[in-house]
Amino acid sequence: MSTPWTPLIETRRGDTPECIHFGALAVCDTQGRVLAHAGDPGVVTFTRSTLKALQALPLLECGGARELGFTEENLAMLCASHSGEAMHVRQVEDMLGKAGMSYQRLQCGCHVPMYVDLGVGERPAQFDERHHNCSGKHSGFLAYCAVKNLPVDNYIDPVHPLQVAVREHVARAVGMDTQDLRMGIDGCSAPNYAMPLAKLARGYARLASGAADAEFGGSFEVLAQAMAAHGDLVSGTRRNDEAYMRVGAGDWVTKVGADGVQVVASRSRRQALALKIADGNAVALHAATVEALDQLGWLDDAQREALRPWRAATISSVRGAPVGERRAVFRLATGS
C-alpha cells in the first residue's frame, strides 16, 4: 500500500535506530502553488489549533472587533493556544467584558493551566474556563454573537450561524468548497476541519501576505501583525510559538496544533510551511519544523542557533548524560 507519509525524524540510542517519526509537509504561496514538500503535500489532516486565525475571520470581517474596541493584544488572543498565565486571563477578561459576557458563557471546558506542566508556576488553588488554552478563541466566538445579536447557549453547534460563518470563511481562505472540509470536534468542543496540508499552507501564506490579499487583506493584516507582535499571548512562556515568532523578528506568523501540526508563514516571502507528524509526537514536530525552515533557507546563523534547543538533537538521560541523538532524515523536494 502506498502511504502519504515519509520518514522525517529518526532517534538513535547508542548506534542503534530506535524510533522513526513519519509525516508530511507542504510549502505553498498565496496562490496555492506547492513550492516544496516532503511526503504527500495533499494529505488530509485535521488542522486543530492552527485553524484559529482563520476561525477569527467572521468577527474581523463583520467589523465586530473594531466595534467592540478589541486591541492588538485581544486579536492575538483570538488566535491563541495559551498557557493560562495571568497575562492570558487578563486578556480573556478584557475581551469578555467588551462583549458584555461572563466567563460562565464559555463552552470550551476547563483544564489545569498549561503553564503548570511547563514549570512556569505553581498549580493555582482555583481555575476555570478562562484558563483553558482555547478561551481566547471562544471569547471571540461570544463577541461575534454579541455583535450579531445571536444566541450563545449553542454557539459551538455546527449549525449555529456563527459556526456556519466560520466554515464559509475558512473555506474561502484556503480555497476550498465548504462541503469538502471534513468536520470533526476539537478538544475545546468547537467544530474543527480537516483539509490537505497544502490548503492549510495556502491559507497561512495568505494570512502572512496581510493587506496584499485581495479578499481578506484588512483582516489578515491586523491578525498577522497581532500574532507576530504578541507571540507570548498566542502561546506563552517557554512555548514554541512564542520562541518562533521572537526569532522571526516580526516576519514569521506561526501556530502549533495538537497532535503534531505546525504552520510557519513568512510575511516577507508570502509563503507558508504546514507540517504534520503522523504519530502526533511534539518533540519530533519541533525538530522537523526547524529542519524544514533551515532547508528552505529561512534561517540565518543567529536564528539557527536560537532555535537549536527546538531541534532537540541530543537525547539525554534523567541525569543529563547524552545517550542518543535525534536527527532529520528528509530532504525537501521542490514543486508538487
Q: What is the DSSP letter of 126?
A: -
pLDDT in tens, 156-185: 999 999 999 999 999 999 999 999 999 999
From residue 312, give the alpha-carbon distance in Å to each of 245, 246, 289.
18, 19, 12
Task: Dig out the grid coordinates for 205 from the structure.
Answer: 501564506
Rounded to whole angstroms, the Cα distance separating 32 from 174 reads 8
pLDDT in tens, 47-81: 999 999 999 999 999 999 999 999 999 999 999 99
Confidence of residue 122 (pLDDT cuts 50, 70, 90): confident
Sequence ranges of the domains in the chain: 6-334
User: What pLDDT shows up at residue 124?
Assistant: 86
The pTM assigned to this predicted structure is 0.96
Q: What is the DSSP letter of 122?
A: P
Burial string for 45-80 (b: 16+ CB within 10 Å, else e) reads bbbbbbbbbbbbbbbbbeebbeebebeebbbbbbbb
Cell numbers 456563527: residue:
162
Give CATH for domain 6-334.
3.40.710
